[in-house]
Amino acid sequence: MRFSSRTGPRSACWRVIVLLAMVAGGHAAVGAEPGDEAAAEAWPMFRGGVAGSGRSAARMTLPLAERWHRQLEKTAFEATPVVSGGRIFVGDLDGTFHCLDLVDGKTVWSFKTDVGFPSAAAVSTDANVPLVVVGDGAGMVRAFDVGSGEVRWTHETNGEVSGGPTLLPGDDGPRVLIGSQDATLACLALADGKILWKHTIADQIRCSPTVAAGKVLLAGCDGKLHVIDAVTGTEDVAVAIDGPTGTTPAAAGSLALFGSEGGVFWAIDVTAGKVAWKLVPQGNGQAYRSSAAIAGDLALVGTRGRAVEAFAVADGARAWRQGMRGRVDGSPVVVHLSAGGEGDSAGLAAIVGDSAGKIVALRTTDGEILWEFDAGNGFASSPAVAAGCVIMASGDGTVWCFGAEGK
């Protein structure tokens, strides 16, 4: 482990053209709202909260130190862990869904099937509905009792579930939004899995659904951002994005921000139903597999071009670019830094890993590396932050837990 205060490179490996579409009346206030953060004690779904902002209310002190790691034999992880109630929930690619103790990584319960789990679960923080929901590579969605691991209900789709579920409140009880490669987004009652509505698009759904201002934001492989009413499932508008994507949009004010397979980073004004701005690579751009995080007035995202980038939410101006050893397919998670810890005046750092096994905490204002750790094997998944811990699951089947040194 190394604690570093080196300033990372800021020159771009590829230049971009900023295309601006002026929207009448301008944008709503941009940047993540306080309510978009996951609570400090839990990371209940892929991007922490329904708005997809990748933010945690947790306060971390750097440098971090390893608390424990556990290597599970003959398997690998691509799914991002979720955490609630002192337990970690994550599925592996060989068909085991694990519930681990956050304190020491020991197995609390597990479930075995013949098909792997490529995406994150979502765990309810509502004590009245203590369920964790996850989809597998064959399209089966299961809800487990968080305490016992007993299957409470199932829902069958006709395609792989590549994006984690999103849990949101409803007038008639909590709901689950989940899409699959059968191109259908389903809204289910969390309590029993009853289908409340379905919405089908023209091609696969690989992202987790984002919800903001009562609308579901769905970035599809059909080359469109779909804006869907969260209550009825009726589509309000679909904005063309010139190519497929499987990344989860991050909501910031009226904007939805995400990258595409073609290497374009998009900001869609959801209210106006049009492109606000986009960044187009010159030449062959590297695909975005990382979902963006919102840190104040910046959007942070990893690239397959071995870097983490930051753009101004308002207009797409590049703020910084930090090089990494490997591809960054995982998504950054933004945390607050405790008083006395290393960080910027806003007190924010972004944590992310790369395909070469390097984990970093970056200062969000300029991309400077504040802390780094070499895990030895790569990450396709993203961090989870809860109860003072950073949890990551790597490609060699290892689950890692980090916390503040001396704690």
Q: What is the pLDDT of residues 155-192, one digit of tens each?
A: 999 999 999 999 999 889 999 999 999 999 999 999 99
Residue 54 has pLDDT above 70, yes or no: yes
What is the residue whose two structure tokens read 């970035």? 219
Q: How many CB atoms lie within 10 A of CB 209?
A: 29
Residue 113 and residue 97: Cα distance in Å, rounded? 8
What is the CA 264 to chain-centroid distance, rounded?
18
pLDDT tens for 347-359 read 899 999 999 999 9
pLDDT, the chain, mean: 90
pLDDT, residue 90, reads 98
Q: How many CB atoms lie within 10 A of CB 74?
A: 7
Residue 12, both tokens:
């771009």
Residue 186 and residue 216: Cα distance in Å, rounded? 11
pLDDT, residue 286, reads 85
Check: CB of residue 193 under 8 Å from CB of residue 150: no
pTM of the full structure: 0.91
Check: CB of residue 193 under 8 Å from CB of residue 153: yes
pLDDT, residue 406, reads 76
Residue 256, both tokens:
């939805």
What is the residue whose two structure tokens read 């004010």? 253
Residue 153, both tokens:
């209900």
Residue 7 has pLDDT above 60, yes or no: no
pLDDT, residue 405, reads 84
Residue 187 and residue 382: Cα distance in Å, rounded? 25
pLDDT, residue 121, reads 98
Residue 13 has pLDDT above 70, yes or no: no
Check: CB of residue 146 under 8 Å from CB of residue 99: yes
Looking at the DSSP bridge assignments, the partners of residue 257 are 250, 267
Instruction: Give 283's pLDDT tier (boundaries 50, 70, 90).
Output: low
At 12, give phi and psi (nearest 5°): -85, 140
Residue 204 and residue 384: Cα distance in Å, rounded? 26
If phi > 0 it is left, if psi is from -120 to 50 it is alpha, else beta; for residue 277 that is: beta
pLDDT tens for 352-387 read 999 999 999 999 999 999 999 999 999 999 999 999
Q: What percent of the chain has pLDDT over 90?
A: 85
Nearest CA to 78 out of 392, 358, 400 is that of: 392
The domains located in the chain, with CATH, are 16-404 (2.130.10.10)
Q: When comparing pLDDT for 119 and 23, which is higher?
A: 119
Residue 9 has pLDDT above 90, yes or no: no
Specify the 3-state DSSP secondary structure of 123: strand
pLDDT, residue 3, reads 33
Residue 28 and residue 26: Cα distance in Å, rounded? 7
pLDDT tens for 297-334 read 999 999 999 999 999 999 999 999 999 999 999 999 99
Check: CB of residue 393 under 8 Å from CB of residue 89: no
Residue 296 and residue 288: Cα distance in Å, rounded? 21
Residue 340 has pLDDT above 90, yes or no: no
Which residues in 310-325 are b (16+ Cβ under 10 Å) and which e?
bbbbbebeebbbbebe
Residues 37-52 have a mean pLDDT of 97
Check: CB of residue 65 under 8 Å from CB of residue 402: yes
pLDDT, residue 31, reads 40
From residue 213, give the alpha-carbon distance in Å to each of 175, 228, 246, 256: 16, 11, 22, 12
Residue 16 has pLDDT above 70, yes or no: no
Q: When comparing pLDDT for 207 and 17, which is higher?
A: 207
Instruction: Give 1's pLDDT tier (boundaries 50, 70, 90).
Output: very low
Instruction: Give 5's pLDDT tier (boundaries 50, 70, 90).
Output: very low
Residue 36 has pLDDT above 90, yes or no: no
pLDDT, residue 35, reads 53
Residue 141 and residue 135: Cα distance in Å, rounded? 4
pLDDT, residue 40, reads 96
Q: When comparing pLDDT for 15 and 402, which is higher?
A: 402
- DSSP type of residue 106: -
Q: When comparing pLDDT for 9 and 231, which is higher?
A: 231
At 138, give phi and psi (nearest 5°): -100, 0
